[in-house]
Amino acid sequence: MIAKILSLYSFVALVFLTSCSNPYEKEIKEVEELQQILAGVKQTFGTIEVTKVTYARETYEKNMSQIKLYYNPDTIDYNVVNMLDFYKGVKKSSKGFEEEYFIIEENIKFVENQLNILKIDMENKANFKDDLTIYIQNERSNIEQLQNNLATMIYNYEYIISTHDTIASKVNSILFQNVE
């Protein structure tokens, strides 16, 4: 009799524990992994200083207008021409940079919110039917797209800043020599 009661209590405890477990544990872990990846994206994004890009572009525009005004095209040294061609990359790379920056920032916030909502829904055992895999895959794709866009932005950012840091002072020096 005691064995039957003990086995009944064991069965009830097992059923209780099984019913309390979340059927989405695996998917919750996937979303947590995506949240960690997004945190890395967010951290990388935080290294970009838009004001530096704006300053580099404004300095480029000022320097180039001064060059056109004061520098005689007939006497341009070959090395100076090459340097100025390289410097023009600041203008090309900074075109639309700020707009893209704010788009990526909004997309990061959007994906972060989507992942948080999805995780909460899974923790509350919402009924997803067969759509949960699609939702997770969509968020994974969104993060991959963010990573690609951010990689391009970081490449442009580093180019703009390094080019500005190395060439702007040389262009200023050329201008200073030619204006005198």
Indicate the Cα dihedral angle 116, 121, 123, 128, nearest 10°: -130
pLDDT digits (tens, 9 = 90+) for 19-30: 567 888 999 999
User: Is the confidence at residue 152, as pLDDT, over 60?
Assistant: yes
What's the CA gap between 124 and 118, in Å, rounded? 10
Assess if residue 122 is contained within a domain. Answer: yes
The two three-digit tokens of residue 172, written as one number = 């200023």
Assess if residue 3 is contained within a domain. Answer: no
Assess if residue 6 is contained within a domain. Answer: no
Assess if residue 96 is contained within a domain. Answer: yes
* pLDDT, position 75: 66
Nearest alpha-carbon partner for 98 in 57, 59, 64: 57
Assess if residue 73 is contained within a domain. Answer: yes
User: Is the confidence at residue 114, as pLDDT, over 90?
Assistant: yes
Domain range for residue 85? Answer: 24-179
Q: Which of 3-17, 20-34, 94-108, 114-128 is predicted least confidently?
A: 3-17
What's the CA gap between 118 and 122, in Å, rounded? 6
What's the CA gap between 159 and 163, in Å, rounded? 6
| pTM beyond cutoff 0.75 | yes
Assign residue 143 a region: left if phi > 0, alpha if psi is -120 to 50, beta otherwise?
alpha
Q: Which of 53-57, 107-111, 126-130, 140-144 is predicted least confidently?
A: 126-130
Assess if residue 14 is contained within a domain. Answer: no
Number of domains in the chain: 1
* pLDDT, position 26: 93
Assess if residue 17 is contained within a domain. Answer: no
Assess if residue 45 is contained within a domain. Answer: yes
pLDDT digits (tens, 9 = 90+) for 68-103: 887 766 666 778 888 888 899 999 999 999 999 999
| End-to-end alpha carbon distance in the chain | 110
